[in-house]
């Protein structure tokens, strides 16, 4: 069990408003009961992601958010990817470099390899938020059955 949170600041079609880092930290801390082992954050222009982690896979090195090789794709994740070991093998053969042994890292590399169709390769129960910094785009996804809950709550836009 883990918990994820995040805020994206929208101020127009192509620009992002600053994100209140205190809000993301408070939201994430409210999830402490879902992940008592670690917390982590990613903040950049217009985006803030938070994670509470219950360490199950890669206890020492799997703290989130997790990123790709050049730190342009970031993910926070709740769940378990059952086929992550075969995905890891396939992706390393395609020259992706992993810095953890966690199932979460396969997500960023699958996204690099397959774009929006990356979700089709995942077998498991999950909810995730993936930030593509190059395209300035946030993707939210959950498992097909909805075992892991994912909720989008629009915040009021400041005047």
Question: pLDDT tens-digit profile of 2-29?
Answer: 788 898 887 655 566 778 889 888 888 8
Residue 91 has pLDDT above 90, yes or no: yes
The residue with greater pLDDT, 145 or 59, is 145
Q: Which of 1, 2, 75, 114 is catalytic?
A: 2
In the chain, what is the straight-line distance between the N-terminal and C-terminal CA atoms, in Å?
Answer: 37
Question: Cα 5 vs. chain centroid, distance in angstroms?
Answer: 9
How many beta carbons lie within 10 A of that of residue 9, not counting itself? 17
The CATH number assigned to the domain with range 3-142 reads 3.60.20.10
Buried b (16+ CB within 10 A) or exposed e, 73-111: bbbbbbbbbeebeebbebbeeeebebebebbbbbbbbbb
pLDDT in the model for residue 62: 74
147 catalytic per annotation:
no
Average pLDDT over residues 38-65: 82
- Whether the CB-CB separation of 77 and 122 falls below 8 Å is answered with no
pTM, entire model:
0.87
pLDDT tens digit sequence for 96-152: 999 999 999 999 999 999 999 999 999 999 999 999 999 989 999 999 888 887 877
Q: Are 106 and 97 in contact, with CB atoms under 8 Å apart?
A: no
The answer to whether residues 19 and 7 touch, using CB atoms and an 8 Å cutoff, is yes
């Amino acid at each position: 069990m883990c918990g994820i949170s995040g805020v994206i600041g929208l101020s127009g079609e192509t620009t992002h408003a600053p994100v209140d880092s205190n809000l993301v930290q408070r939201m994430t801390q409210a999830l402490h009961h879902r992940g008592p082992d670690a917390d982590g954050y990613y903040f950049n222009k217009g985006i803030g992601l938070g994670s509470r982690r219950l360490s199950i896979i890669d206890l020492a090195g799997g703290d989130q958010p997790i990123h790709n090789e050049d730190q342009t794709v970031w993910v926070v994740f709740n769940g378990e990817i059952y086929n992550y070991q075969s995905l890891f093998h396939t992706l390393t053969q395609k020259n992706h470099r992993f810095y953890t042994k966690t199932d979460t890292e396969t997500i960023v590399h699958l996204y690099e390899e397959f774009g929006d169709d990356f979700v089709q390769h995942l077998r498991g129960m999950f909810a995730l938020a993936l930030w593509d910094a190059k395209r300035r785009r946030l993707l939210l996804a959950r498992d097909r059955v909805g075992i892991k809950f994912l909720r989008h709550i629009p915040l009021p836009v400041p005047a």
